[in-house]
Amino acid sequence: MSEVHHGRGYVYSIQYHLVWCVKYRDNILHGDIDTYVKKLLNQIALDNDSQIIKMESDKDHIHLLIECKPQHYIPNIMKAFKGVSARFLLKEYPELKKRLWGGHLWNPSYFVATVSENTDEQIRHYIQHQKKK
């Protein structure tokens, strides 16, 4: 169950399930690259005053369960997650530019769903089990 937070004059509990894919669904999210992108995403969340509750990847896509404040605007959150992570990943692993011609790491689209207390545990379980055995 998600926590209830208090702001100035409001009480909230907001969670989103976010999913996005690598450009061309290329299988690059494994080993050091997978570890590095997860580290980056956690830092990006902290820098943007949000929290990643659950995160997993499976070679060509990423799932996040995040918690944020009512002031957050999802397109801005996604721009931060995708834009900043792409910039740092392509700098750290320049060979990715050759695999993903055009210099774009992420597919431009994404999925977002709000999470309620009724779906919270289902989504946590789903994200946790994203890696194929």
- For 28-44, the pLDDT digits (tens) are 999 999 999 999 999 99
Structure tokens at 51: 């929290």
**CA–CA separation, 70 vs 50, rounded Å?**
11
pTM of the model: 0.86
Q: Smallest Cα–Cα separation from 61: which of 89, 90, 32, 34?
A: 34
Active-site hit among 12, 36, 110, 126:
126
126 is catalytic: yes
The residue ranges of DSSP E strands in 4-129, in sequence order, are: 5-7, 10-12, 15-21, 51-57, 61-67, 111-115
Residue 121 scores a pLDDT above 90:
no
Q: Smallest Cα–Cα separation from 45: which of 22, 10, 25, 16?
A: 16
- Give the N- to C-terminal CA distance of the chain in Å, as an integer: 27
Helical (H) or strand (E) element with 20: strand 15-21
| Contact indicator for 109, 20 with CB cutoff of 8 Å | yes
68-120 residue pLDDT tens: 999 999 999 999 999 999 999 999 999 998 888 777 999 999 999 998 776 77
